Chains A and B, each alone.
Chain A
Amino acid sequence: MGKIIVEMKDVTKCFGNVVALRGVNLEIYEGITGLIGPNGAGKTTTIGIILGLLRRDSGYLSVYGVDPWIKGQEVRTKIGFLDEKPVFPGNMTGRRFLRCVARIYGVNEESVNEVLKIVGLSRHADRSISTYSAGMIQRLGLAQALLGDKEFIILDEPTSNLDPIARIRILELIKSLRKSSGLSFLISTHILTELERVCDNIIVMYGGKVLGACTLDEIYNKINYESYILEFSTLEESKKVYSRVIEAGDADIDGRFVYINQRIWNKIREDIFQFISENGIKMLSLKPRYNAIEEYYKSLIGDTIEI
């Protein structure tokens, strides 16, 4: 685990009679962290408190070593934020808006062009924001979150209003930004399958509490199940692969499908790919049988959610 960014201890927050956070304890480290939980779990409130938008009622909070409610400006120079449904002035162009934001952060025009290029909005930058599609608004939101000398980006439901293609693009962008500029992300979402693509750490919230927090590897170790399905074109091919896999450990076969345990698959993956190519076997698909985060989420929350 990298450097600690956020540390919360017994943080509580009430809105009138509604208790939003009931003694939240969490630590967010460098990397990509997923914050998951059902509606009303306290995800947005937690984000609001981290950004200094909300005042906590009690508990300890440190973001980059300072209290964001007291030294909000200092904290927010390092943190970018993309809201769930971002609202920007419709009568301004994307470029004009980003220029105004750049002035707040004290960065130049070049940075504006750079972030526009990163999010793929350069061609539409001189159009009025009111003409943007939901995906473009989301990308503009990401662009304004990236402006300045940022270290940590908070994304509240970044893909909730997007079509599948736009979702994939945003997630790939997050992944590439993590790789290229070493930025850390906190992604709050309901869509659990997405997180497995990008996240290093997972925090599960429910009823204003943190139910669990661990790395993705820890989840893979905790959730022990046949996680991958390999589909072949013929029964003979699947049998051949199965006989190879069974030498390494537990596996199962059902017609053209071979089920391989996650941990075993991780060990023999390279070997199997080589075996398949050497024997001219045609593999039709390779997909996880379950989503690891989904399983972890279910194991923590179980039947507590009322439908």
Chain B
Amino acid sequence: MELEKNFSIYLVEFIFLLMVYVVASSTLNFHLSYSITSSMHLPYEEAIKGFSLFLAYYLSRNAISAFEFNVLIIVVVVSLSFADEISRGYMRVLLSYPLSRKTIFCVKTFLIIIVPYLVYLTSATLLPLVYTSLSWNLFFAETIAKLSLIFLFEIFFVSSITILLALLTRSTSFTVLFSLVILFTLRYSGYIIGSEYVNYLPPFCFNILADYLIGIKFLQVNVYKVTAIYSILSAFPAILSYLYFTRRFDACRR
């Protein structure tokens, strides 16, 4: 019922189309920047010529970052699944059934994470086919693996913050507004403050964490320690929303 109600075919199609663009552009972006900065020689220029080269650069330069994409999609999905249901009274109906709050919270959160993630995996699986057919030879399993991990961590982080805001504000518009402000502030705080440690805050810590998990360990040990702390802290909103929903949440507050 939850899946049918909140994930209509149009929404999934919309996510899929955006996801294809994000994955394609992010892969090229990662690949091209990596090949330029790394000491390894990657013969991409020989592989792509003319219009293909232009297209590859165009896509890479206009890449929507995975985080920005996740914020937009997850905020919409959480607003539909939590904030809208609370404000319109559907949550009250749902909680009046003999279901535990734990079950309701877990099912909703699981679907919020898994549906966009499955759509991502589908588009990521399609990419090698596209690249191979264009003879670009640009597809790297490592890039896709890294992106897959980053997507998973970011979807979890964004959804946990947005769910917490939805439960606290009980309003769709406030949830969207506050989520976007908080998440984009985190995203761009590094550029604004300029402190080195801000770069290890979520969502940046997920890049380092993903690198570490797939075996790329080129940073100092301290950086990984800080990243680990921030990554653990980033799970805090999810725990807080779970506890609030299961123990304190008043379903028919007016």
A residues in contact (CB < 8 Å) with B = 15, 44-45, 47-48, 51-55, 72-74, 76-77, 79, 81, 83-89, 91-92, 96-97, 100-101, 104-105, 144
The complex places the Cα of A73 from the Cα of B102 at a distance, in Å, of 11
Decide if A101 touches B97 in the complex (CB within 8 Å).
yes
The complex places the Cα of A269 from the Cα of B253 at a distance, in Å, of 48
The complex places the Cα of A54 from the Cα of B250 at a distance, in Å, of 5
Within 8 Å by CB of B88, from A54, A77, A87, lies: A87
Decide if A83 touches B5 in the complex (CB within 8 Å).
no
* Cβ–Cβ < 8 Å partners of A55 in chain B: 248, 250
Decide if A88 touches B90 in the complex (CB within 8 Å).
yes
Decide if A53 touches B96 in the complex (CB within 8 Å).
yes
Decide if B93 touches A88 in the complex (CB within 8 Å).
yes
* Cβ–Cβ < 8 Å partners of A53 in chain B: 92, 95-96, 250-252
Chosen A-B contacts, 6 in total, with CB atoms closer than 8 Å, are: A48-B251, A54-B251, A72-B101, A73-B100, A86-B93, A87-B89
The complex places the Cα of A47 from the Cα of B89 at a distance, in Å, of 14
Decide if B4 touches A91 in the complex (CB within 8 Å).
yes
In the complex, the 4 A-B pairs of residues with the closest C-beta atoms, listed nearest first: A53-B251, A100-B1, A81-B96, A89-B5
Contacts A88-B90, A100-B1 given: A73-B98 contact, CB under 8 Å? Answer: yes
The complex places the Cα of A124 from the Cα of B4 at a distance, in Å, of 20
Nearest residue in A to B1 (C-beta to C-beta)?
A100
Nearest-Cβ distance from residue B181 to partner chain A, whole angstroms: 24
The complex places the Cα of A247 from the Cα of B100 at a distance, in Å, of 64
Nearest-Cβ distance from residue A251 to partner chain B, whole angstroms: 48
The complex places the Cα of A71 from the Cα of B253 at a distance, in Å, of 20
Nearest-Cβ distance from residue A189 to partner chain B, whole angstroms: 17
Contacts A73-B98, A77-B98, A87-B90 given: A48-B250 contact, CB under 8 Å? Answer: yes
User: How many interface residues does B have (CB within 8 Å)?
Assistant: 23
B residues in contact (CB < 8 Å) with A = 1, 4-5, 8, 85, 88-90, 92-93, 95-101, 248, 250-254
* Cβ–Cβ < 8 Å partners of A104 in chain B: 97-99
Nearest residue in A to B4 (C-beta to C-beta)?
A92
Decide if B93 touches A81 in the complex (CB within 8 Å).
yes
* Cβ–Cβ < 8 Å partners of B96 in chain A: 51, 53, 76, 79, 81, 83
* Cβ–Cβ < 8 Å partners of B4 in chain A: 89, 91-92, 96, 100
Nearest residue in A to B96 (C-beta to C-beta)?
A81
Within 8 Å by CB of B252, from A48, A72, A77, A79, lies: A48
Nearest residue in A to B248 (C-beta to C-beta)?
A55
Nearest-Cβ distance from residue A103 to partner chain B, whole angstroms: 8
* Cβ–Cβ < 8 Å partners of B100 in chain A: 72-73
- A73-B100, A91-B5 given; name 19 further pairs at CB < 8 Å: A15-B253, A15-B254, A48-B251, A53-B96, A53-B252, A54-B251, A54-B252, A74-B98, A79-B96, A83-B92, A84-B89, A86-B93, A88-B90, A89-B4, A92-B4, A100-B1, A104-B97, A105-B97, A144-B93
The complex places the Cα of A96 from the Cα of B251 at a distance, in Å, of 25
* Cβ–Cβ < 8 Å partners of A86 in chain B: 89, 93
* Cβ–Cβ < 8 Å partners of B254 in chain A: 15, 44
The complex places the Cα of A92 from the Cα of B4 at a distance, in Å, of 8
* Cβ–Cβ < 8 Å partners of A91 in chain B: 4-5, 8
The complex places the Cα of A268 from the Cα of B9 at a distance, in Å, of 67
Nearest-Cβ distance from residue A154 to partner chain B, whole angstroms: 8
The complex places the Cα of A105 from the Cα of B248 at a distance, in Å, of 25
The complex places the Cα of A159 from the Cα of B113 at a distance, in Å, of 39
The complex places the Cα of A73 from the Cα of B248 at a distance, in Å, of 16
Nearest residue in B to A99 (C-beta to C-beta)?
B1
The complex places the Cα of A85 from the Cα of B250 at a distance, in Å, of 18
* Cβ–Cβ < 8 Å partners of B85 in chain A: 87
The complex places the Cα of A53 from the Cα of B101 at a distance, in Å, of 10
Within 8 Å by CB of A44, from B90, B99, B252, lies: B252
* Cβ–Cβ < 8 Å partners of A73 in chain B: 98-100
Nearest residue in A to B6 (C-beta to C-beta)?
A89
Nearest-Cβ distance from residue A146 to partner chain B, whole angstroms: 13
The complex places the Cα of A51 from the Cα of B100 at a distance, in Å, of 13
Nearest-Cβ distance from residue B92 to partner chain A, whole angstroms: 6
* Cβ–Cβ < 8 Å partners of A105 in chain B: 97-98
Nearest-Cβ distance from residue B235 to partner chain A, whole angstroms: 26
The complex places the Cα of A104 from the Cα of B95 at a distance, in Å, of 12
Nearest residue in B to A53 (C-beta to C-beta)?
B251
